[in-house]
Structure 1
Amino acid sequence: MPTPTHLRQGQSAEDAALAYLVQQGLHYLTRNFRSRFGEIDLIMQQQETLVFVEVRYRVSTHFGGGLGSITPQKIRRCRATAEVYLRRYTRLPPCRFDVISINGNLEQATALTWVQDAF
């Protein structure tokens, strides 16, 4: 179970990712969309494409950092949760799954990596 400190760090990482993506021209739709399968951190829109964003924050890259923490199980849960979200649409828009990885200090802009169409 995450500690209050980890929850605050996760919230701060999502805030940083959201600000970065808005700066890159994406439009915010929702945050922390939950289903019985899991949670999607951010749902954004880039032109006509829905973008499901997984935000991963790690203090150290010793064990692969944020990108290295994406497991096949996490990918399955993200896809299943995205399907729940997409059932709300009568016409399915194109969509993709992106990952924002933040390693190290949250205040360092250079620590943020955006991987588009990650899985």
Structure 2
Amino acid sequence: MKGADAEDRALSALLAQGHTLLARNYRIPGGEIDLITRLDGVVVFSEVRQRRSARYGSALESVTPRKLALMQRAALTYLFNVLGRDDLPCRLQVVSIEGTAASGVLSITLIE
């Protein structure tokens, strides 16, 4: 499954940067977050996108405003329901892979 391969590679990259995995594929009705990690006290919510070619746009461009809104809602739900508070330091990011999951260029883009 190609999505799982991209998520595995993204997780490996985050772990190599010092992240600790909290959850994978956290789902709520209408939304999902691929990876939830913690780095230096900050909860990091990551959407993983991979595109073999840029013919239909880049992996980063495939993240729509609607997806970001659903991701934000899922992040708030996770903070409140799992961690018991919604005021913890956190951030959203997109881990994009351009090319194959195994060898494509991996980039991390913070969402403001």
Q: Which amino acid aligns with 2:62?
A: S
* Unaligned residue ranges in structure 1 (runs of 5+): 1-7
Structure with bigger RCO (C-alpha 8 Å, 6+ apart): 2
Gaps of 5+ in 2: none
**Stretch moving more, 68-77 or 86-95:** 86-95
2:94 maps to 1:99? yes
Distance 2:97 2:86 in 1: 34
By percentage of residues, which structure has more strand?
2
Distance 1:114 1:98 in 2: 7
Quote the residue 1:13 is aligned against. Answer: 6
Tell me the TM-score normalized by structure 1.
Answer: 0.86
- What is the count of residue pairs matched by the alignment? 110
1:111 aligned residue (93, 105, 112):
105
| Counterpart check, 1:74 vs 2:67 | yes
Give the number of the structure whose residues are more often helix, by fraction.
1
TM-score by length of 2: 0.91
Structure 1: which 4+ aligned runs deviate by more than 2 Å? none
Provide the rounded CA distance (Å) in 2 between the counterparts of 1:106 and 1:54: 14
- 2 CA distance for matches of 1:79 and 1:112? 23
> Larger deviation: 83-92 or 48-57?
83-92
Separation in structure 2 between the aligned mates of residue 81 and residue 17 of structure 1, nearest angstrom: 20
Match of 1:47 in 2: 40
Aligned counterpart, 1:90? 85
Q: Distance in 2 between matches of 1:21 and 1:52?
A: 11
Closer, same or farther: CA 91–104 of 1 in aligned 2, 3 Å: closer
The corresponding residue for 1:5 is none
1:103 partner amino acid: E
Q: Deviations over 1:28-73 (max 9, x none)?
A: 1110000013100000001110000000011111222110101011
Equivalent AA in structure 1 for residue 6 of structure 2: A
Q: Which moved more, 1:40-49 or 1:99-108?
A: 99-108
Provide the alpha-carbon RMSD of the alignment.
Answer: 1.3
